[in-house]
């Protein structure tokens, strides 16, 4: 048994919320900056240039990359030999979010009830996904998610006979419908398999994966590559104003599914694809 | 083409702007997003007053991050405009001449823009740090209780936007999507 205090968890969640909103992970940053070289549209190049400049100003002037500093999505992998000491774990995570959003000058974008819609004024609660894994470590991923792109995400319950072409069609249709709304260039997270809710969770998880680490499964890696090419042939371009660079990457996660089903979830993220990972 | 305009956005200025123009705006503009729109809309439906003058003005769909000491405003990029579609025709009827946001508008909004001679601009989504540098003054003037969604009066200098829908109804997004 290894003991981890919730004080340490609060501190880390706080720092990760702030870090995620001011500095992109290197794989995402490389692709945003690199996109300008491949873009041919003049307006597209201009927009991509502004996005690079925006990343510079965020760091130099201490201003969040985007004003939508997101709802805090937290993935927690708890080693089954870890003992958590202190307050309730969920309360600790929300306390970390509360402190991070306050001390980091981040926007409070959460309402307490989806219909009554009163702002909770501290960006809590976060959305927390737990997983119990072997070992004595605690792995945290903080992924603040903006809703301009979240609103353009979709789930399809395809038939097994729809196969890989059906999956491709679903992804391309979703990207087309998102058009300029999701702040292209986008990152596309796809979850294939599982059940209705599992596919959605996989698609979110896919967004947190390093884009330079393709799927270890050969046929899925191929699908990721083909989809990126086909999405970038749509012509939506930076800002939705035309061009070659509509997406920076496509990450796919899969899970076994039922003999009758082929769930496909597409979680769209803007170019500000934020995620910070720490292992305690 | 590149154009430099100053507010107020009179009908003459509106009519010169064409879809695809890159425009730098200087002058006073107002912010309002979901909750402020809903409140103005409900007030107008009941024949009440709203806290901003709409005639020849521009609304920027923005909810910024809090500013640090010494900063005018925090991160300040556009939010998705379509959520304001329900409320927009009524504002256009009252003289609103420009909107800054990102993403598509519905047919009712575009028809009302043509009828009332107004223009829809897009700012670059996700460039909130960069855009904040173009905002020189900011103060909350109404609906303070809405936090980030309060109405702010901003003074902007050469704020960069692109004309997406002009007052004839030409729509740059449509032109792009038709090629998809």
pLDDT value of residue B28? 98
* Euclidean distance between CA atoms A101 and A111, whole angstroms: 15
Domains of chain A: 2-20+65-145 (no CATH), 148-275 (3.30.1330)
Residues B72, B135: contact at Cβ < 8 Å?
A: yes
Tens-digit pLDDT profile for residues A66-118: 999 999 999 999 999 999 999 999 999 999 999 999 999 999 999 999 999 99
Taking the CA atoms of residue A79, residue A85, residue A86 and residue A91 in that order, the dihedral angle to the nearest 10 degrees is: 10
Going residue by residue through chain A, which has 280 residues, state the pLDDT in tens, using 9 for 90 and above. Answer: 999 999 999 999 999 999 999 999 999 999 999 999 999 999 999 999 999 999 999 999 999 999 999 999 999 999 999 999 999 999 999 999 999 999 999 999 999 999 999 999 999 999 999 999 999 999 999 999 999 999 999 999 999 999 999 999 999 999 999 999 999 999 999 999 999 999 999 999 999 999 999 999 999 999 999 999 999 999 999 999 999 999 999 999 999 999 999 999 999 999 999 999 999 9
Q: Residue A263 belongs to what H/E stretch?
A: strand A262-269
pLDDT exceeds 90 at position B1? no
Which of B75, B152, B170 to mutate to test binding with chain A, by most A CBs within 10 Å of its CB?
B75
What ipTM was assigned to the predicted interfaces of this complex? Answer: 0.93
Across the interface, whether the CB atoms of A117 and B160 are under 8 A apart is answered no
> Mean pLDDT across the stretch B145-156?
96
Q: How many CB atoms lie within 10 A of CB A143?
A: 24
Chain A residues within an 8 Å CB radius of B130: 50, 53-54, 57
- Residues 6+ positions from B87 with CB-CB distance below 8 Å: B37, B38, B40, B41
The pTM assigned to this predicted structure is 0.95
Q: Which residues of A touch B79 (CB under 8 A)?
A: 67-68, 148
Cβ–Cβ below 8 Å for A67 and B64: yes
CA angle A234, A147, B85 (to 5 degrees): 80
Task: Name the residue facing B68 among A62, A66, A236 (closest C-beta).
Answer: A62
Chain A and chain B share a number of CB contacts under 8 A equal to 151
Between A66, A234, A237, which is nearest B75 by CB?
A: A66
Of B75, B179, B180, the CB nearest to A67: B75
Asked whether the predicted pLDDT for residue B164 surpasses 90, the reply is yes
**Per-residue pLDDT at B179:** 75
| pLDDT for position B176 | 87
Would you say A89 and A7 are in contact if contact means Cβ atoms under 8 Å apart? no
In chain B, how many domains are there?
Answer: 1
Residues sharing a CB contact under 8 Å with residue B91, sequence separation 6 or more, in sequence order: B40, B54, B59
- Vertex A59, ends A273 and B68: CA angle to 5°? 105
Domain span at B48: 2-179
- CATH number at B126 reads 3.20.130.10
Cβ pair B52, B107 in contact under 8 A: no
Chain A residues touching residue B124 (CB < 8 angstroms): 47, 50-51, 54, 239
Give the residue among A217, A246, A216, A252 at the shortest CA–CA distance from A230: A246
Cβ-based contacts of B180 with chain A (< 8 Å) = 176, 234-236
pLDDT tens digits for range A24-38: 999 999 999 999 999
Read off the tokens for A78. 């708890």
């Amino acid at each position: 048994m290894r003991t981890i205090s919730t004080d340490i968890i609060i501190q880390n969640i706080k720092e990760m919320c702030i870090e995620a909103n001011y500095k992109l992970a290197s794989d995402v940053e490389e692709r945003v900056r690199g996109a300008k070289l491949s873009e041919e549209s003049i307006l597209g190049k201009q927009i991509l240039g502004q996005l690079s400049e925006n990343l510079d100003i965020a760091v130099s002037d201490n201003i969040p990359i985007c004003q939508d500093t997101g709802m805090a999505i937290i993935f927690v992998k708890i080693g089954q030999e870890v003992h958590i000491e202190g307050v309730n774990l969920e309360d600790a995570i929300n306390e970390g979010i509360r402190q991070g959003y306050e001390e980091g000058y981040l926007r409070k974008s959460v309402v307490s009830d989806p219909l009554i819609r009163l702002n909770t004024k501290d960006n809590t609660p976060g959305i927390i996904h737990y997983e119990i894994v072997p070992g004595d470590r605690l792995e945290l991923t903080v992924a603040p998610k903006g809703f301009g792109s979240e609103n353009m995400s979709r789930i399809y319950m395809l038939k097994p006979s729809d196969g890989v072409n059906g999956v491709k069609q679903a992804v391309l249709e979703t990207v087309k419908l998102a058009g300029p709304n999701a702040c292209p260039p986008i990152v596309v997270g796809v979850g294939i398999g599982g059940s209705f809710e599992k596919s959605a969770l996989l698609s979110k998880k896919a967004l947190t994966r390093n884009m330079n680490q393709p799927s270890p499964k050969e046929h899925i890696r191929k699908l990721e590559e083909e989809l990126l090419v086909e999405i970038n042939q749509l012509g939506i371009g930076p800002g939705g104003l035309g061009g070659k660079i509509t997406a920076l990457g496509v990450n796919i996660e899969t899970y076994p599914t039922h003999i009758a089903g082929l769930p496909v979830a597409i979680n769209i993220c803007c170019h500000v694809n934020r995620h910070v990972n720490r292992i305690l | 083409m590149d154009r430099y305009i100053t507010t107020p956005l009179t009908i003459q200025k509106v009519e010169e702007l064409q879809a695809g123009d890159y425009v730098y705006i200087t002058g006073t503009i107002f912010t309002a997003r979901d909750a402020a729109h809903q409140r103005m809309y409900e007030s107008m439906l009941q024949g009440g007053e709203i806290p901003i003058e709409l005639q020849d003005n521009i609304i920027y769909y923005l909810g910024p991050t809090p500013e640090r000491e010494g900063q005018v405003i925090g991160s300040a990029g556009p939010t998705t405009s379509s959520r304001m579609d329900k409320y927009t025709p009524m504002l256009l009827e009252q003289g609103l001449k420009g909107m800054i946001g990102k993403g598509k508008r519905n047919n009712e909004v575009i028809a009302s823009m043509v009828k009332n001679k107004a223009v829809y601009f897009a700012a670059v989504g996700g460039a909130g740090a960069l855009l904040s540098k173009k905002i020189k003054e900011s103060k909350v003037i109404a609906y303070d209780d809405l936090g980030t969604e309060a109405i702010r009066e901003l003074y902007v200098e050469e704020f960069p936007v692109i004309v997406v829908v002009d007052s004839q109804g030409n729509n740059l997004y449509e032109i792009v999507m038709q090629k998809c």
